[in-house]
Chain A
Amino acid sequence: MTAQGLKALIHLRNGADQEGRDILDALPVALYLTDAEGRLTYFNAAAVKLSGRTPQLGVDQWCVTWKIFLADGTPLPHDQCPLAVALKGGEIVEGMECLAERPDGTQFWFTPYPAVLRDEQGRITHGINLLVDITSRKFEQNQAAQAALLLSAIVDSSDDAIISKDLNGTITSWNKSAERLFGYTAEEIIGRPVTLLIPSDRQQEEPRIIARLKAGERVDHFETIRRRKDGSLLDISLTISPVRNARGNIIGASKIARDITERRRAEAEILRANRDLEQFAFSASHDLQEPLRGLKIYSELLARRYSSKLDGQALEFLGHLRAGATRMEVLVSDLLAYTQISKREEPEMVDANATLTIVLESLAGSIAESGARIDSGPLPVVPMHAAHLQQLFQNLIGNAIKYRSPERKPEIHVAAESQSDGWTMAVTDNGIGIAPEYKEKVFGLFKRLHSNEEYSGTGIGLAICQRIVAQYDGRIWVDSEPGQGSAFRFTIPRSRDGGG
């Protein structure tokens, strides 16, 4: 505040005219004047409002406030306040942040702007102080500081490495997990290029990532490989988002890196175990066929050539032997079929109506024998291998005939419903149905609900269906009312290229 300004203020205050005092009172900033000893000679309405008290002119000294504290909370005696210091000839402290308490216990933050007025001889004649209320700004600062503190605590406690970089690819921040994951401390790595973390054969990834960030795009769950300080490689999933400044310009990126080494290892393990199991099932079922063939053919020869030489019980034993061998042959060939389902080549587009016709022809014998009535709605053209769809229809319709109710002729309906992402096909029957507790189990390998005397079968048919549907990322399930019938439904998604 200039000396002229101060003089004008004092003139205003001393002016006999009411208008001058009204102007000071109307000022929205707390203001007071003192004599050379610091005793209050004037204060405005804003000063009363801010300090929460009405000072006594000529008695109150140095400040209008009740109690003052420094920003760190230590009490500040009135005679050491910035105006007191200034009046005592000390330096004028500007921009100090103080806390004050009102008589009612409430507090406020303020910044004093003290000044002194001197006469021609340079002696201090007056003091003046403006108290600017900064409570709301301090509150916001405090909030921001707390939020920043919380954020950095979150970043530090994260299991994921959280890194930021500028658009030149220079690392600008580095959390604790980044230290743990990559082996560099924050001190070592901040300010160095992020390419340090990228293996030499993947260096081309960085310019592509930067280009996407500059376009304002986010890179989500990008699975790649990065290099630790010790040179070892790790599988990670990266999510990289552009960071903007207050004006909305992209100034860098935040990068969240998750260690997926363990997940990758587990995935590879599962894949390998599955392949081993498939290979085992294939070899077992393939190699079992050979001795089984001998068993079958020689029990047949024994029956053909030596029946007359065998007594009743020997013939019965031979019958069991032959039935066992025959059943095992079906099991082994079904198991072999199960292991051979795989979608190695891209599926073709197959007309389900034509496929159904072929299946009904091959089931003609059992259809005629059971008196089954089979009808169908319009069926779609689906992206599948014809043999797979054929096997699905064959097994589901075959089951619908096999598990018919003894009380009525089988009525079987085949239908399809188009969905946004594919089709749901259904084979509905009026057979014996399935109790709710078995609805999941029936799809398991070798899972059978009936003895071989009641209904023959290997318990592989529905497992084959499930495996086929799974190959196309579809699912299969059954809705059933025991005693009333079942509806087997499966979904076939549209192919990814949008065909079908």
Chain B
Amino acid sequence: MAAGKSHILVVEDNPADVFLIRETIEASGIKVPIHIVKDGEEATRFFDNADSDDSAPCPSLVILDINLPKKHGIQILQHLRRSHRCRGASVIVVSTSTAAKDREDVILNGADAYFCKPSKYDDFLKLADLIREWFPKTTK
């Protein structure tokens, strides 16, 4: 495949969280390129682009914030699952919500894991365990 190199796509509008997610990916020990998109439209464009251009990058793992400008995380999730090239990517949703209903909603819409953003640094680093768990083994 032209875009053979696997990578992680981070969909997150808050730079403070982007920084923390970068640190957790680093802490996970997985060394692949990281693409960052900052809103919902940018995210869906990213998948559309991958579908129309085989040389465009296609993520192995998506770390997706749920409250995003322009498009809600659920819509992005649905869009991703319809993309013929990117539909197989693992998805970890990160959100501030502790409500069980929000967790159910994202799992029902095709997310693989749900991570509630904590307010302590060490707790945030636990996201690294999920990244290791869901990053596709074969492409490692």
Contact = CB atoms under 8 A, between A and B. Distances in A.
Interface of A: 289-290, 292-294, 296-298, 300-301, 304, 329
15 contacts: A289-B96, A290-B14, A290-B67, A290-B96, A292-B119, A294-B14, A296-B120, A297-B16, A297-B20, A297-B120, A297-B121, A298-B16, A300-B121, A301-B121, A329-B119
Contacts of A292: 119
Contacts of A304: 121
Interface string B103-140: 00000000000000111110010000000000000000
Contacts of B121: 297, 300-301, 304
Nearest to A300: B121
Contacts of A297: 16, 20, 118-121, 124
Size class of the B contact interface (CB-based, 8 Å)? 10 to 19
Nearest to B67: A290
Interface in B1-29: 14, 16-17, 20
Contacts of A298: 16
A300 B121 CA distance: 7
Contacts of A296: 119-120
Q: When A and B form their complex, which 7 residue pairs have the shortest distance between CB atoms, in order from nearest?
A: A293-B119, A296-B119, A294-B16, A300-B121, A290-B96, A297-B121, A289-B96
Interface of B: 14, 16-17, 20, 67, 96, 117-121, 124
Nearest to B16: A294
A405 B118 CA distance: 36
Contacts of A290: 14, 67, 96
A297 B96 CA distance: 13
A300 B14 contact: no
Contacts of B16: 294, 297-298
Q: Could you tell me the dominant secondary structure of chain A's interface residues?
A: helix
A300 B96 contact: no
A294 B117 CA distance: 10
A277 to B, nearest CB: 21
Contacts of B17: 294
Contacts of B119: 292-293, 296-297, 329
A289 B17 CA distance: 14
B138 to A, nearest CB: 34
Nearest to A325: B119
A289 B124 CA distance: 15
Contacts of B14: 290, 294
A246 B73 CA distance: 78
A409 B57 CA distance: 67
B113 to A, nearest CB: 19
B82 to A, nearest CB: 29
Contacts of A293: 96, 117-119
Contacts of B120: 296-297, 300
A297 B118 CA distance: 8
Given A290-B14, A293-B119, 4 more contacts: A289-B96, A290-B67, A290-B96, A297-B118
A304 B120 CA distance: 12
A294 B96 CA distance: 11
